Amino acid sequence: MKAVIILGSSNGKGHTRLVCKYLQEISGLPIIDLREKKIGHYDYEYKNIDDDFLPLMRELTAQYDTYIFATPVYWYSMSGIMKVFFDRITDCLKIEKELGKKLIGKNMAVLSCSGHDDLDKHFSMPFVNSADYLGMNYLGEVHTWMARAKLTEEMKRKVEDFLQKISA
């Protein structure tokens, strides 16, 4: 499995980043932080065609077969940065169709993080449905939470189990 962690958090030092760093420690997987990319919102006139989105998608499709989308839970959903990334996948279906076709058969998994064990049962629906629409394999998800910015042994085990599940 050649996988990558795609981090979509507004807080570069937040809980989701801490969980991603632990996942990276135990797996050696690289992290791509969407905050470090200039990715504009989707628009029907493709005015942001020269931003970082398409080069990032070319890199992802050429180098990786599994994408672990890591996001905090904001208002019962993925972060805004992650949503913009997903919206921009439309570029790969409209103006870069060959690039979009390269997503077929790739794998998707989700790591979410919040302050409590209270993830809504519908949280993963946009990811599951997007994977299905794009012809990707949805491998599953893990939800983590933290108190006082500390990754507990319980959360470490959850992340380890998640890694084992998606690596199988």
Segment 8-50, tens digit of pLDDT: 999 988 999 999 999 999 999 999 999 999 999 999 999 999 9
Structure tokens at 99: 């690039």
Listed residue (168, 80, 97) closest to 134, CA to CA: 97
CATH class of the domain comprising 3-167: alpha beta
Rounded (10°) angle between helices 153-167 and 15-27: 60
Evaluate if pTM is beyond 0.95: yes
* Positions of E strands within the chain: 3-7, 31-33, 66-72, 107-114, 137-145
Instruction: Give the pLDDT of the chain (168 residues) as one tens digit per residue.
Output: 799 999 999 998 899 999 999 999 999 999 999 999 999 999 999 999 999 999 999 999 999 999 999 999 999 999 999 999 999 999 999 999 999 999 999 999 999 999 899 999 999 999 999 999 999 999 999 999 987 778 999 999 999 999 999 998
